[in-house]
C-alpha cells in the first residue's frame, strides 16, 4: 500500500493473508466469543444454581482476574517455548475448561472453571495479537484491523450462540464453545508454523511487561484503556440484570451490540484516526461512550436496549484505537507491549465485574453502575488529553487507512 493509495479497500486488507493469520484469527473469534457467551444465560445460571447477582458476575471477574495475572507471564512463556506452543497451550486449556463448565454442579465450580478458562485465554490472546501483527501482510494497520475484526465477530456471535443454546439449557453454550475451540486447537496444532530455535527468539523476563509500562505514553494508553474496559464490562455484565429479559432477547440485544463493535472497529476507527489522530479520536470516542452510559443510567428499559446497541459503536472505535496506540507508542517488543497493555486493560474489566453488583447496592438504584462507567470514561479522556497536549498526536494512522473499509 502506498500513502497515496486511496483506491485501497477493506477487501485488500483481508486478501492474501498467510494461513497462520487466518487460523489465529479464527481461534481469536472463538476465544472472544467466550467473553459475551454467558450474558444471555446469567439469569438462567442464577436460577439453576441458586446464586445471586453478586455471585454470578464473578463468572466475569474470575475469568478476567486470572487472565490479568497470567498476562504477565505470557511474554516470557512465548519467548521460552515459542508462539505456536503458547497458542496451543492456551487453546487446550480453554477446551478443557469449557467442557468442564458444561457439567459443573455448583456456582463455585463454575467460577473456578471460568478462572481456568481465563488462564487459557491469557496465553492465547496476547500471543495471538503478536502473531497476527508479525505475520500479516499489509503492515501493523492491517494486522490490528484483522485482530479487531475477530474481536468484533466473536463479541457478536458469543451472545447469539449463548442465547440459542442457552434457551435449551444453560450448559449448552459451554459445550458448544468447547466443540468450536477444539476445531481451532486442531487447526493451530496442525497448520501454524513450527516454532524456531529458542536462540532465535528475543529473551523476555517475567516482569518486562510491567517495566514496559514505565514508558509514559504506553502507561497512559494502558490506564485509559483500563478505565474504558471497566465501563465496557459494566455494560456487558450488568445490563442483563437491568433488562431482566429471557436468554434469546438478551442474546439478540448483544448480537446487535457486537455487530456495531465489529463494523465500527474495522471501518470507522481508521477514518476517525486519520482525521483526528489516534489520541484525538480516542478522546472523542470515549466521551461519546460516557454520554451513552450517562443516558442509560437514567433511561427506561427501551432506552437501555438502544444504549447497549449504540454503545457497540464506541466500543468498536475504542478497541481498535487503544490497541493501535499500544502497539506503536513505545519501543518495547510487540509481545512485551501487548502483555503489559493487556494486563492493564483486562485489570479494569476484572475490577468492574467484581464490584458492579455491589455498586448498585451501595448507591441504591439498579442503573447506578452505568453512571459510574460514564465517570470512568471521562477520567480516561482526561488522562489521554495529557498525552495530546504534551506531545501532540505523533501516532496518526497512515493515509491509506482512511480508504480501508470504504466499501465494507
CATH of residue 171: 1.20.1250.20
Please check whether residue 19 lies inside any domain of the structure: yes
pLDDT at 402: 39
Instruction: List the grid coordinates of 75.
Output: 511474554
- Using CA atoms, how far apart are residues 87 and 24, in angstroms rounded to an integer? 9
Q: Express each pLDDT in 379-408 by its tens digit.
A: 999 998 886 665 544 444 444 433 333 322
Q: Is residue 378 scored above 50 in pLDDT?
A: yes
Instruction: List the grid coordinates of 65.
Output: 482476574
Using CA of residue 178, residue 183, residue 184, residue 189, what is the dihedral sign? positive
pLDDT at 201: 53
**CB-facing half-sphere around the CA of 406: CA atoms within 13 A:** 11
Q: Express each pLDDT in 300-319 by its tens digit.
A: 999 999 999 999 999 999 98
Please check whether residue 256 lies inside any domain of the structure: yes
Distances (CA, A) of 283 to 299, 319, 378, 387: 24, 13, 9, 11
Please check whether residue 335 lies inside any domain of the structure: yes
Please check whether residue 5 lies inside any domain of the structure: no
pLDDT at 308: 96
The confidence band for 203, taking pLDDT boundaries of 50, 70 and 90, is low
pLDDT at 393: 46
- Using CA atoms, how far apart are residues 313 and 269, in angstroms rounded to an integer? 10
Please check whether residue 118 lies inside any domain of the structure: yes
pLDDT at 139: 66
- Using CA atoms, how far apart are residues 306 and 308, in angstroms rounded to an integer? 6
**Residues in the chain, total:** 408
Q: Express each pLDDT in 118-155 by its tens digit.
A: 899 888 876 777 777 667 776 666 777 777 778 778 87
Range of the domain at 218: 10-403
Residue 189: is it exposed, middle or buried by C-beta count within 10 angstroms (0-12/13-18/19+)?
Answer: middle
Please check whether residue 1 lies inside any domain of the structure: no
Please check whether residue 2 lies inside any domain of the structure: no
Q: Provide the b/e sequence for 91-130 (b: ≥16 CB within 10 Å).
A: bbbbbbbbbbbbebeebeebbbbbbbbbbbbbbbbbbbbb
Q: Express each pLDDT in 74-86 by its tens digit.
A: 777 877 788 888 8
When pLDDT is averaged across residues 328-354 and rounded to a whole number, the result is 81
Counted domains in the chain: 1
Query: In 3D, which of 156, 165, 93, 155 has the Cα closest to residue 122?
Result: 93
Q: Which residue has the higher pLDDT, 348 or 132?
A: 348
Lowest-pLDDT choice from 90-104, 108-122, 205-219: 205-219
Q: Express each pLDDT in 164-188 by its tens digit.
A: 888 889 999 899 889 888 988 998 8
Please check whether residue 4 lies inside any domain of the structure: no
Amino acid at each position: 500500500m502506498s500513502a497515496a493509495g486511496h483506491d485501497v479497500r477493506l477487501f485488500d486488507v483481508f486478501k492474501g493473508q498467510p494461513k497462520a493469520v487466518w487460523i489465529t484469527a479464527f481461534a481469536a473469534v472463538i476465544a472472544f466469543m467466550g467473553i459475551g457467551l454467558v450474558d444471555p444465560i446469567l439469569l438462567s445460571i442464577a436460577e439453576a444454581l441458586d446464586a445471586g447477582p453478586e455471585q454470578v458476575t464473578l463468572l466475569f471477574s474470575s475469568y478476567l482476574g486470572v487472565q490479568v495475572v497470567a498476562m504477565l507471564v505470557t511474554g516470557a512463556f512465548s519467548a521460552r517455548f515459542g508462539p505456536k506452543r503458547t497458542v496451543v497451550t492456551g487453546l487446550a486449556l480453554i477446551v478443557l475448561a469449557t467442557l468442564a463448565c458444561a457439567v459443573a454442579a455448583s456456582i463455585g465450580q463454575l467460577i473456578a472453571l471460568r478462572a481456568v478458562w481465563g488462564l487459557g485465554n491469557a496465553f492465547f490472546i496476547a500471543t495471538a495479537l503478536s502473531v497476527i501483527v508479525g505475520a500479516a501482510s499489509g503492515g501493523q494497520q492491517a494486522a490490528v484491523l484483522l485482530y479487531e475484526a475477530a474481536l468484533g465477530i466473536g463479541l457478536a456471535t458469543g451472545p447469539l450462540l449463548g442465547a440459542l443454546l442457552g434457551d435449551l439449557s444453560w450448559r449448552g453454550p459451554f459445550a458448544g464453545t468447547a466443540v468450536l475451540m477444539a476445531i481451532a486447537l486442531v487447526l493451530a496444532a496442525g497448520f501454524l508454523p513450527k516454532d524456531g530455535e529458542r536462540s532465535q527468539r528475543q529473551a523476555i523476563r517475567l516482569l518486562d511487561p510491567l517495566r514496559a509500562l514505565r514508558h509514559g505514553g504506553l502507561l497512559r494508553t494502558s490506564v485509559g484503556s483500563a478505565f474504558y474496559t471497566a465501563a465496557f464490562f459494566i455494560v456487558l455484565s450488568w445490563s442483563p440484570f437491568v433488562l431482566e429479559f429471557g436468554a434469546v432477547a438478551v442474546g439478540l440485544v448483544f448480537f446487535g451490540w457486537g455487530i456495531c463493535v465489529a463494523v465500527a472497529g474495522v471501518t470507522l476507527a481508521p477514518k476517525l484516526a486519520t482525521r483526528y489522530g489516534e489520541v484525538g479520536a480516542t478522546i472523542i470516542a470515549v466521551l461519546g461512550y460516557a454520554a451513552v452510559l450517562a443516558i442509560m443510567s437514567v433511561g427506561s428499559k427501551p432506552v437501555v436496549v438502544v444504549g447497549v446497541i449504540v454503545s457497540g459503536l464506541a466500543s468498536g472505535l475504542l478497541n481498535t484505537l487503544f490497541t493501535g496506540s499500544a502497539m506503536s507508542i513505545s519501543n518495547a517488543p510487540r509481545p512485551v507491549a501487548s502483555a503489559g497493555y493487556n494486563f492493564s486493560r483486562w485489570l479494569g474489566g476484572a475490577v468492574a465485574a467484581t464490584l458492579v453488583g455491589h455498586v448498585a447496592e451501595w448507591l441504591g438504584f439498579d442503573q447506578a453502575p452505568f453512571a459510574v462507567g460514564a465517570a470512568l470514561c471521562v477520567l480516561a479522556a482526561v488522562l489521554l488529553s495529557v498525552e495530546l497536549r504534551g506531545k501532540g498526536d505523533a501516532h496518526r494512522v497512515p493515509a491509506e487507512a482512511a480508504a480501508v473499509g470504504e466499501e465494507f
